[in-house]
């Protein structure tokens, strides 16, 4: 199998083209040591605001991928593209319908080598993405695990994204989902508001995504990088403090 552009990413910041970010904040995020910037949002993403944000991020060396939520926003120039399909939606257009239409209309133009399908398991019923896609987010643990295994074992999707956008998720469930995967790369996002939650998510997820806290508390957001990438450093600091 070819190496993926995202396989080594442990920590990622997600920036929303629909939200303002000043130059100083963007500078801190892009120079934070994170593995990558993921551009995406579930509403208000346009071709123009995506180009704007991408060209600002491109001043830095950090890898930058785009998570598409609207087929009309196919902006070239990213290192990679994630295409979400919502596993637990009741509306099939968010699982496969929009995708088939987009591929019918311009599949011949797409840079397939840098496009990755992403199975989305939406677990916060109050999130924008749950409302937008009509996701049945109130799942029992065994149902959530079964959805994950359909994506991983049956469909062999390369990426499973456990999405709690806006709320910190059930880490015991995340661990059980991880244990039940055969091959998919596990991404976790939702409600990480500082280093402790980031470290907890990183115990099970291959990649931890930090989003909204960037806009609410930049210092807390920046502290998540170290917590995920260098958890040993935190433990050592604790040992020194307790000596």
Ligand X SMILES: O=P(O)(O)OC[C@@H](O)CO
What's the helix, strand, coil split of the chain in %, to 5?
45, 20, 40
Least separation in angstroms between CB 62 and Mg ion: 19
Give the integer Cα–Cα distance in Å for 124 and 189. Answer: 11
Give the nearest residue (CB) to ligand X.
Answer: 189
212 is a site residue for ligand L4TTDIOY (CB under 6 A): yes
* Residue number, 119 or 226, with CB nearest to ligand L4TTDIOY: 119
Binding residues for sn-glycerol 1-phosphate: 14, 161-166, 191, 211-212
Give the integer Cα–Cα distance in Å for 141 and 125. Answer: 15
50 is a site residue for ligand L4TTDIOY (CB under 6 A): no
Q: How many residues bind Mg ion (CB under 5 A)?
A: 2
Contacts (CB under 6 A) with ligand L4TTDIOY, residues 141-160: none
Contact 68, 83 (CB under 8 A): yes
**187 is written with which tokens?**
């991404």
Q: How many Cβ atoms are within 10 Å of 138's Cβ, its own excluded?
A: 11
Least separation in angstroms between CB 189 and ligand X: 2
Secondary element (H or E) of residue 101: helix 97-106
Nearest to 161 by CA among 68, 73, 228: 68
Tell me the three state secondary structure of residue 238.
Answer: helix
Binder of residue 134, out of ligand X, ligand L4TTDIOY, Mg ion, none (CB less than 5 to 8 A by kind): none
Least separation in angstroms between CB 121 and ligand L4TTDIOY: 10
* Residue number, 14 or 178, with CB nearest to Mg ion: 14
Give the integer Cα–Cα distance in Å for 210 and 35. Answer: 12
Beta strands 207-210 and 11-15 are parallel
Of 12, 30, 129, 208, which one interacts with ligand L4TTDIOY (CB under 6 A)? 129
Q: Which residues bind ligand L4TTDIOY (CB under 6 A)?
A: 16, 40-43, 67-71, 74, 76, 81, 83-86, 94, 98-99, 102-103, 109-111, 115, 120, 127-129, 132-133, 163, 165-166, 211-212
């Amino acid at each position: 199998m070819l190496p993926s552009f995202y396989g080594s990413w442990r920590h990622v910041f997600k920036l929303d083209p629909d939200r303002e970010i000043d130059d100083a904040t963007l500078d801190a995020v892009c120079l934070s040591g994170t593995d990558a910037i993921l551009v995406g949002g579930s509403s208000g993403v346009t071709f123009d605001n995506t180009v704007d944000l991408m060209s600002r991020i491109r001043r830095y060396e950090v890898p930058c991928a785009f998570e598409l939520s609207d087929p009309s926003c196919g902006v070239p120039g990213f290192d990679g593209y994630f295409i979400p399909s919502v596993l637990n939606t009741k509306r099939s257009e968010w699982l496969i319908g929009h995708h088939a239409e987009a591929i019918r209309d311009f599949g011949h133009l797409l840079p397939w080598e840098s496009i990755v399908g992403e199975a989305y398991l939406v677990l916060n019923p109050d999130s924008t993405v749950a409302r937008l896609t009509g996701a049945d987010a109130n799942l029992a643990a065994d149902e959530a695990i079964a959805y994950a295994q359909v994506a991983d074992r049956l469909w062999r999707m390369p990426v499973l994204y456990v999405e709690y956008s806006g709320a910190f998720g059930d880490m015991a469930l995340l661990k059980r989902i991880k244990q039940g995967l055969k091959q998919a790369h596990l991404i976790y996002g939702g409600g990480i508001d500082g280093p402790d939650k980031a470290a907890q998510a990183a115990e099970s997820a291959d990649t931890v995504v930090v989003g909204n806290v960037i806009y609410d508390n930049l210092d807390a957001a920046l502290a998540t990088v170290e917590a995920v990438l260098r958890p040993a450093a935190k433990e050592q600091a604790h040992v020194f403090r307790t000596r």
